[in-house]
A and B are shown apart, each in its own frame.
Chain A
Amino acid sequence: MNKQLMYGTHALAEAAIQAGCTCYFGYPITPQNELPEYMAQRLTEIPGGVFIQAESELAAINMVLGASAAGARALTSSSSPGISLKQEGISFMAGMELPAVIANIMRGGPGLGNIAPSQADYFQATRGGGHGDYRIIVLAPGSVQEIADLTFRAFDLADTYRIPVMILGDGMLGQLMEPVIIPKPRQEPLPEKDYIVSGAQGRQPRVIKSLILDTREMEEHNWKLFRKYQLIQQRETRWESYLTDDAELIVIAYGTAARIAKGAIKRLRKDDPNMKIGLLRPITLWPFPTKAIKESLSTASDYFVFEMSAGQMVDDVLLSLEGKGRVHFYGRPGGIVPTPAELARSIARRYYQMKRTRKR
């Protein structure tokens, strides 16, 4: 497919279609309405395409559950308050080991909050979000191209590991227009699923459930999920390192925050080529690039965590560093998106402070 100018939400929708998604269920909420609107039109062109504007996010996620149990690749999307309502369904799908892709185009919170871009749902996304002992894969794109690439990949990840996968974006990324190449539709047929319901014709009936009353069996199921999560941690952790080879101070940020940080670092390095600062951008928020962060201690002594929240991912950075290094946090919650220049000033202040303490 050719390069075209697209909104983040549209790129997400089109990449899903190319990945073989035939079902979309959702409920309107700003700032992601362009996604269901695109799907309402586009899915009519797909054989077997299903689009339902559900009566609530509760209904939408459970329609996803049903469609996934019936073997389809299904997508739902929402923004923060709606994702809260979906958590029960996500927990069920985690327990039932059903694949699904869920996009959260985050906005300011808590409560109704506002409709400005935010990263306030990091905890909810990376800690499972709903009840019970589980994880989901969380992908954090930083550009429209990456939205397309990661959405396409999300469906394969979901099927490979039989797990819900979340695309965690924000209002800025969703409404950004950038040139993008949508991944080519897959040629090979989707992998066979031996667990889905289709009517028990010529085989034993199948039951897809999360209820396990026997405590020993439930414990075994929990350990089985845990082993799967370990495998995902080993195999699927992704991050981007930018100018970190010689960096003494490393900025850690994801999504929109990482774009701003990159701009700030470019600016600072241009003004002062001796400034040894770089960026580590987690692409998978769960699994978190713990090892990469720990290994960066070989050059870096200081970390500057920037989030559009009052501080959530910073906990994972601290856990990764296991008490080593100095961690500074700069947060802008509530829907504020600082400019690269603003952020550069804060980073520079930290950097020169670090230099002064090093000399002493």
Chain B
Amino acid sequence: MKRIYVRPQTLRPVPMHYCPGCGHSIIHRLIAEVLDEMKLREKAICVPPAGCAVLAYNYLDIDMVEAPHGRATAVATGIKRVRPANLVFSYQGDGDLAAIGTAEALHAANRGEQITVIFVNNAVYGMTGGQMAPTTLLGQKTTTSPFGRNVKTEGPPIKVCELLAGLGSSAYLERVAVNSPANVKKAKSAIAKAFTYQLRKAGFTLVEILSPCPTNWKMDPVAACRWIDEEMMTVFPLGVIKDLPC
């Protein structure tokens, strides 16, 4: 018999606290698989965020340094500058990276810090109960945009990859999704590519992952995956946004 499924070594054998159908658990697994396959488990240092993934250190069996909300790229900068031989990545939600931590992310990208950001875009603030995020779609109802996001008062959703693409020292920016088996495979390749670029000292790398939050979208997991296809991708098209060959 051929073994086609095995728990990655980097993923601790414990149940996760994420809601059923949440994208975070898939993304954790992808990171673990990539670290195993690239033999990077003993080299990796992760900076988890304040957000639903704050407990990522319970699942990923690697060195971790917690950051204040939004400051993960600054913390990762400090680590990587001291330990340039390690693989350093932050794991951040859209509130963490694109609201409170925008300045840190933008400047880390502009300095070309040799770090990778795993940017989980679920269009809401998951952990605090589904408030509006910088990536919330126009018309999307959240607990703090009860009538739907209004472009006149809240502005349009921020496209992080496109924003960072204009900066000189960002090397690789790709948007992927984890709402279908095919997309999950592509997401994994993107993470592997970003890590490879980091090890080659190509510059700042970021993988934006469209990720379902069934709980705060008030949908079942299947409908949430469909909503990514039908709504999110029209605003956040998948694909490589920037790729400087290295």
Binding site for B on A (CB under 8 A): 22-23, 25, 48, 50, 52, 54-56, 58-60, 62-72, 74, 88-89, 92, 96, 197-202, 205-211
Contact = CB atoms under 8 A, between A and B. Distances in A.
A55 B108 CA distance: 9
Q: Which 4 A-B pairs have the closest CB atoms?
A: A66-B78, A62-B74, A70-B82, A197-B63
B78 A63 contact: yes
Interface residues of B, number: 35
A200 B63 contact: yes
A210 B104 CA distance: 21
Interface string B73-96: 011111111110011000000000
Nearest to B60: A205
Given A23-B82, A55-B104, A66 B63 contact: no
Interface stretch (B43-51, B140-148, B159-167, B173-181): B43-51
A212 to B, nearest CB: 11
Contact of A66 (B43, B47, B54, B87): B47
A200 B42 contact: yes
A71 B82 contact: yes
B71 A58 contact: yes
A67 B79 contact: yes
Contacts of B75: 62-63, 65-66, 69
A278 to B, nearest CB: 45
Nearest to B41: A200
Contacts of A199: 42-45, 62-63, 83, 86-87
Nearest to B81: A50
B68 interface: yes
B63 A198 contact: yes
A23 B61 contact: no
A59 B78 CA distance: 10
A66 B77 contact: yes
A55 B63 contact: no
Interface string B22-61: 0000000000000000000111110100000011010001
A205 B63 contact: yes
20 contacts: A52-B111, A59-B104, A59-B107, A60-B74, A62-B67, A63-B74, A63-B77, A66-B75, A67-B79, A67-B81, A70-B79, A72-B82, A88-B68, A197-B63, A197-B64, A198-B83, A199-B87, A200-B63, A205-B61, A211-B54
